[in-house]
Structure 1
Amino acid sequence: MKTLCMDSAHKHLIFVLLEDGNVVASLAQECWKRQSETLFPALIALMEEAHWKADDIDEVVITDGPGSYTGVRIAMTVAKVLCTRKHIPLYCISTLQLYAGMHPHTFVMLDARSSRAYTALLDEGKFLLDEGIMTLDEVKAYLKDKDVRVVGETELIDLAHEDVDFVENFQALRPLARRIDNVHTLTPRYLKENDAYLVK
């Protein structure tokens, strides 16, 4: 089983090629607002490195948000076209799940602009606190006296940054990905305040 995993929802462009659950090749690089121009050359190079062809792919896993209005759509559009053309299944995980991975008690925060953050609390890939948008003051108040790992754009609240292993997280989260029954109806999830990325 050959699986193509993709994320372009936030600041990074991430590809993971899995074969029977094992990582064959991967790429995770920061390219804020350059995902669209970088995606195809990077994916082609990675496929060549793995000696894969497009017809070899058996399934696709992507993140469906929350994230950048344009960013979420980039990987999603490629995935929808590929899965429709090849009649292969498409699966999704949350962008915040990808940041948390399978670690216990992990709070994720990503910049949603205007002193706000996309947030969630997860435990081994499952949500303890649903995705939402908090002000940075609300994030600080929520985290006060909580013994949790905090990842994402922690510098927004003056916490030390912890690197995230996106490749390991995609691999570990694959069993939790939800299958999309109708690829054509899949839309990005921007949460209720879908203008969050449109204002600075």
Structure 2
Amino acid sequence: MKMLAMDTSTLVMGIAVLHLEEKRVLGELTTNLHKNHSVRLMPALDQLLGDLELNMSDIQALAVSAGPGSYTGIRIGVTTAKTMSWALGLPLYSESSLTVLAMNGLRFDGVVVPLFDARRRRVYSGVYRREGERMVEQIPQQVVEVDLWLEQIAELNQPALFLGDDVVRFEEVIRRRLGEKARFGTAAENIPRASQLGMLCRHKWANHEPPEHADFSPNYLQMTEAEANWIKKQGNGETSHAQKS
């Protein structure tokens, strides 16, 4: 059995095909470009399957990153995966994009901190520690102001490996707050891997965890700007109505 995994939750677009029974990555395609995933995802998928001499009829399961990350990128990946799941009758599994990135620090002897920029000096992040061949959350995923986040990490008093292309934007304040306990990933370690996504979802498949339901939706960790504006308008409307009454 084979699984197709796709991750479009950041600027990195990754696709991988795994052999489920053999726990083997058959092929992987990764790019890190400022280009539209909606235009490039399906051609990249066709390319990888072609290189492996496979068709979609050879795929028995799907995996997708559920966020957080880029709103647009997440929607592209999740919508594509859900459409393929429905059209082909394939089970769909998902995993957090932060957990996927944290897997690059599996061999680190300390805590691992995957991080995406959430703008306005905030980050999407979580703190992980290795347990066997998996990364387990030590501090739950959240969207948080970076200085407050570093306070939480400093309280652990452990070496902390920061992963992600966005880490460079906060490297100075990280070094200032954590000193020698701050470690930083290499260029390769900072890129989420679709093969890691596939292996995480393969674990769910092997342990007979149920796939996602038809109403599965991304995990943004916060409201979209459109949602926040709508709620703000509703709140203003209620206030105005109350004042009039």
Residues 93 and 176, structure 1, Cα contact 8 Å, conserved in 2: no
- TM-superposed deviation, 1:74: 0.8
- TM-superposed deviation, 1:140: 3.0
- TM-superposed deviation, 1:46: 0.6
Residues 4 and 62, structure 2, Cα contact 8 Å, conserved in 1: yes
Matched position secondary structure for 1:186: coil
Residues 16 and 194, structure 2, Cα contact 8 Å, conserved in 1: yes
Partner residue of 1:129 out of 128, 139, 142: 139
- State the Cα deviation string for residues 26-76 of structure 1 (Å, max 9, x = none): 011113352111111111111100111011110001110111111001111
* Worse-matched range after superposition: 142-151 or 76-85: 142-151
Distance 2:211 2:225 in 1: 25
Q: Provide closer, same or farther for how the CA distance between residues 119 and 3 of structure 1 changes in structure 2, counting only shifts above 3 A.
A: same
Residues 140 and 157, structure 1, Cα contact 8 Å, conserved in 2: no
Residues 136 and 156, structure 1, Cα contact 8 Å, conserved in 2: no
- 1:170 aligns to what? 197
- 2:148 aligns to what? 138
Residues 155 and 161, structure 1, Cα contact 8 Å, conserved in 2: no
- State the Cα deviation string for residues 112-131 of structure 1 (Å, max 9, x = none): 11111001012232211111
Residues 3 and 60, structure 1, Cα contact 8 Å, conserved in 2: yes
Distance 1:126 1:161 in 2: 19
**Residues 171-190 of structure 1 mapped to structure 2, 5 A cutoff:** 171-173=198-200, 174-176=202-204, 179-183=210-214, 185-190=215-220
CA RMSD of aligned residues (A): 2.3
| Counterpart residue identity of residue 213, structure 2 | N
Q: Provide closer, same or farther for how the CA distance between residues 75 and 168 of structure 1 changes in structure 2, counting only shifts above 3 A.
A: closer
- 2:114 aligns to what? 108
- 1:98 aligns to what? 100
Query: Does 1:195 pair with 2:195?
Result: no
- 1:149 aligns to what? 161
| Counterpart residue identity of residue 84, structure 2 | L
Normalized against structure 2, the TM-score is what?
A: 0.73
**Uncovered stretches (5+) of structure 2, i.e. residues with no partner:** 175-183, 229-245
Residues 18 and 195, structure 2, Cα contact 8 Å, conserved in 1: no
Structure holding more helix per residue: 2
Distance 1:60 1:4 in 2: 5
- 2:242 aligns to what? none
Query: Identical aligned pairs, as a percentage?
Result: 24
Larger radius of gyration: 2
**Residues 43-54 of structure 1 mapped to structure 2, 5 A cutoff:** 43-54=45-56
Normalized against structure 1, the TM-score is what?
A: 0.88
Query: Does 1:10 pair with 2:10?
Result: yes
Residues 18 and 24, structure 1, Cα contact 8 Å, conserved in 2: yes
Q: Provide closer, same or farther for how the CA distance between residues 33 and 195 of structure 1 changes in structure 2, counting only shifts above 3 A.
A: farther
What is the count of residue pairs matched by the alignment?
196
Residues 154 and 161, structure 1, Cα contact 8 Å, conserved in 2: no
Distance 1:72 1:179 in 2: 21
**Uncovered stretches (5+) of structure 1, i.e. residues with no partner:** none
